[in-house]
């Protein structure tokens, strides 16, 4: 139950409260560029969700096994080369370079796989796949996971693979929700008389501003939910063997 509550809270907080587009501003280029039609917007959102999850899986595994300070695989290889070596091997400087290539590779892989085995799915969002290598949502998710991969260093809130995957999936879902809402609104605004200078990106950004105002309403939902789901483990902590207060 406690585990389920943690997962549910993480999911809500990622998809709604800290929405990728409205809270962290990542993925704004496709959010503005590909939100003109509802079906293409949905395709884009689905593609991002899919690739984000796969990239998160790969980057968690690579970070945990190779890149993080004191990672098992790196340490093992290092001890093969230098059996007498001491200290922690730390490859975290390579994080950014590795992530961007993991993402590019994942996108290629997913494109080939989907084209071959799920032609229907490929028709739905295949055309967007090459575009999303430079989608900030995916790199942002990888960077966020990087901060939480358990390692020899100080990690304040370590995530296992399960949490990382749920985080990534919900981050993509949040993007999907945002872009679909936006596309629905833009289809309507086609029929409106928008002042000429604001047409295109201008009015889209203003609408995004109002939407993000609406999403602000979710703030605090997680801490209140946490209270309901996890009935107060902390209040009135029992203090044993208290030393006498200082004079």
Partner 1 sequence: MKKQNYIADAWLVILLSLLFGGGLAGVQASLKPRIDANKLGDTLSQIPALVPGSTRGEKADAGEAVVYKALDAAGATTGWVIPASGQGFADRLELLIGLDATGGRITGLYVLDQKETPGLGDNITAKAWRDQYAGKATDKPIVVRKTKPEAPNEIQAITGATISSDSVTAIANAAVAKFRTDLAGGGIH
Partner 2 sequence: MSNDGPTPLERFVQGIIPENPVLRQVLGICPTLAVTNTMEGAMTMTGAVLFVLACANVLISLIRGMLKPHLRILVFTLTIAAFVTVADRLLAAFMYDMSKQLGPYIPLIIVNCIIIARCEICAAKQGVWTAFSDAVGQSLGFGLALGCIATVREVLGFGTWFGKWLGWHVIPASIPTDVWSPWVIMVLPPGAFLTLGLLLGATNWMTARTKKA
Q: With binding defined as CB under 8 A, does residue 200 bind partner 1?
A: no
> Token pair 């290889």 is at which residue?
77
What Cα–Cα distance (Å) separates residue 203 from each residue in 179, 182, 232, 245?
15, 11, 45, 63
Q: How far apart are CA 26 and CA 90, in angstroms?
A: 29
Q: With binding defined as CB under 8 A, does residue 238 bind partner 1?
A: yes
Helix, strand or coil for residue 193?
Answer: coil
**Looking at beta carbons only, is 112 or 206 nearer to partner 2?**
206
Q: How far apart are CA 216 and CA 191, in angstroms?
A: 28
What Cα–Cα distance (Å) separates residue 40 from each residue in 30, 85, 94?
11, 54, 35
Interaction partner, residue 223 (partner 2, partner 1, none; CB < 5-8 Å by kind):
partner 1
Residues contributing to the site for partner 2 (CB under 8 A):
22-29, 32, 93-97, 100-101, 104, 134-136, 139-140, 143-144, 195-198, 201-206, 208-210, 212-213, 216
Q: Which of 184, 201, 202, 220 binds partner 1 (CB under 8 A)?
A: 220
As given in the structure block, the two tokens for residue 87 are: 């200290």
**Looking at beta carbons only, is 2 or 238 nearer to partner 1?**
238
Where residue 194 falls (left for φ over 0; alpha for ψ -120 to 50; beta otherwise) is beta
Number of residues that bind partner 1 (CB under 8 A): 28
Q: With binding defined as CB under 8 A, does residue 81 bind partner 1?
A: no
CB 135 within 8 A of CB 30: yes
Q: With binding defined as CB under 8 A, does residue 87 bind partner 1?
A: no
Interaction partner, residue 140 (partner 1, partner 2, none; CB < 5-8 Å by kind):
partner 2
Interaction partner, residue 139 (partner 2, partner 1, none; CB < 5-8 Å by kind):
partner 2
Q: With binding defined as CB under 8 A, does residue 157 bind partner 1?
A: yes
**Looking at beta carbons only, is 25 or 122 nearer to partner 2?**
25
Q: With binding defined as CB under 8 A, does residue 18 bind partner 1?
A: yes
Q: How far apart are CA 225 and CA 5, in angstroms?
A: 9
CB 106 within 8 A of CB 54: yes
Q: In the complex, which residues of this chain contact partner 1 (CB under 8 A)?
A: 17-18, 90, 93-94, 97, 154, 156-157, 219-220, 222-224, 226, 234-246
């Amino acid at each position: 139950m406690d585990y389920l509550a943690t997962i549910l809270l993480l999911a809500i907080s990622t998809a709604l409260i800290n929405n990728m587009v409205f809270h962290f501003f990542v993925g704004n280029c496709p959010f503005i560029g590909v939100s003109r039609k509802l079906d293409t917007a949905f395709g884009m959102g689905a593609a991002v969700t899919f690739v984000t999850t796969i990239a998160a899986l790969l980057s968690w595994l690579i970070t945990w096994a190779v890149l993080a300070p004191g990672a098992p695989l790196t340490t093992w290889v290092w001890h093969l080369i230098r059996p007498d070596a001491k200290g922690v091997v730390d490859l975290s400087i390579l994080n950014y370079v590795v992530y961007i290539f993991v993402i590019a590779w994942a996108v290629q892989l997913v494109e080939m796989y989907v084209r071959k085995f799920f032609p229907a799915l490929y028709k739905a969002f295949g055309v967007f796949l090459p575009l999303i290598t430079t989608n900030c949502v995916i790199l942002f998710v990888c960077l966020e996971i990087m901060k939480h991969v358990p390692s020899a260093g100080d990690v304040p809130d370590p995530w296992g693979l399960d949490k990382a995957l749920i985080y990534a999936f919900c981050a993509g879902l949040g993007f999907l929700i945002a872009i679909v809402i936006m596309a629905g609104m833009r289809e309507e605004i086609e029929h409106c008389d928008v002042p000429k200078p604001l047409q295109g990106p201008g009015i889209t950004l203003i609408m995004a501003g109002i939407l993000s105002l609406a999403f602000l309403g979710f703030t605090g939902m997680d801490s209140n939910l946490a209270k309901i789901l996890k009935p107060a483990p902390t209040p009135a902590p029992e203090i044993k063997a208290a030393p006498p207060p200082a004079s």
